[in-house]
Amino acid sequence: MRAAAVATLDTKNWVKGPKGKEFGQRFAEHCGALVAVPCQNGSSSLWAALRILGVGEGDEVIVPSYTFISSATAISLVGATAVFVDVEEDYWCLDIDEVKKAITEKTKAVIGVHLFGQPCDPKIIDLCKERGISFIEDAAQAHGARQVMSDSLERVAGAMGDIGCFSFFPSKNMAVGGEGGMLTTTVEELTNLVSSVVNHGRSPSLESMQLGSNLRMSEVSAAIGMIQLKHLDDWVCKRRDIAELYNSKFSNNNCVRIPQIRPGAKHAWHQYCLLTDKPDEFVQHMDQHGIDTRRYYTTPCHQQSVFSEHSQFDKILPVTQILANTLVAIPIMHEITESEVQRVIDGVLSFSTT
Ligand SMILES: Cc1ncc(COP(=O)(O)O)c(C=O)c1O
């Protein structure tokens, strides 16, 4: 990465150069999308996806509330209304029955978050197709996730819906040495829009054809991203091995419940999360053993102050609430050593006996 970054700096070709194009091509090949376009970060990719699909004032977009805040605020930023729905008890992604109930004449898109690396229910993508609703994959946490779709073919995250949105924030399954994101599409008619939205919506003749902005990724970041992409599959396999080991060690434990994997899915394990009725005690216990843990989305999106005027602000989404109250992530990453994994296992198992 260091050599690639320095070589790119030395070219003095710091923006709009060949590295960004090449990174996009390789990323598209990796996930099987028609095109992939590097951009500034995951949040701007979500904004861009909604703009490309023409989502705006008067439109509704269905989104889970149990997610990172920008899955929802991107909708407000284009002037549309977020319709928050509950997630599945087992897999923690959008619940298809809740999606069906939430669809109205105003529904223009669904943002399906592949949460923690678990792909969304592919039947929601079929439902969206049937109803003429666009499906945006929020794949910020799902680089390398795979899912067998209803046509029995396996697809990679970023090539399941209409537009895929990725983040390369440093904690993600792959990164670019700074902020970064990627837009992908599988829809022929959207390829030009996806390519140009990051560059002021310009056509090759430099005329702005659609509303876009400068969302471009720097060449140094793209050069680093290409190095990381080469390792992505191996790194995700390593995460899968660790998750499998954790699942086998914790499956009969009375104090924690293990994450479930959707049938047909190859989870990308951005996070490995356990459910426990005593999350504070669990975090404290792991802390005492020198093991990092994280609680995620303890205030679901629709209950954050930014949505205090939203009609669903006071609504309780039952599964979302359970996850907010009980979910704790334990370390999973490709760099983790065998002895560190064992320390994590010992830490969790000793919690059961305290
Ligand atoms: C599910 C989800 N969506 C969107 C984003 C936004 O990505 P970024 O931080 O690159 O803007 C993140 C990042 O944490 C995320 O986890």
Give the Å distances, CA to CA, from 194 to 71, 76, 78, 203, 266. Answer: 18, 20, 16, 11, 27
Q: Which residue has the tokens 């209803």?
A: 150
pLDDT at 174: 98
Q: What is the DSSP letter of 259?
A: P
Render the burial of 164-184: b for 16+ CB within 10 Å, e for the rest: bbbbbbeebbbbbbbbbbbbb
* pLDDT tens track for 148-166: 999 999 999 999 999 999 9
pLDDT at 157: 98
Q: What is the DSSP letter of 94?
A: B
Q: Are 301 and 268 in contact (CB under 8 A)?
A: no
Asked if residue 181 has its Cβ within 6 Å of ligand 1, the reply is yes
What is the rounded CA–CA span in Å between residue 59 and residue 76?
10
pTM, 2 dp: 0.98
Name the residue of 70, 115, 116, 138 whose CB sits within 8 Å of the most ligand 1 atoms, as the mutation to test its pocket. Answer: 70
Across the strands, what pairs with 165? 138, 183
Asked if residue 169 has its Cβ within 6 Å of ligand 1, the reply is yes
SS3 57: coil
Residue 38 structure tokens? 């590097």
Residue nearest to atom 12 of ligand 1 (CA): 140
pLDDT beneath 70: ranges in the chain? 353-354
Asked if residue 41 has its Cβ within 6 Å of ligand 1, the reply is yes
Asked if residue 137 has its Cβ within 6 Å of ligand 1, the reply is no
Name the residue of 50, 61, 167, 215 whose CB sits within 8 Å of the most ligand 1 atoms, as the mutation to test its pocket. Answer: 167
pLDDT at 352: 72
Q: Shortest CA distance to 331 belongs to which of 243, 228, 248?
A: 243
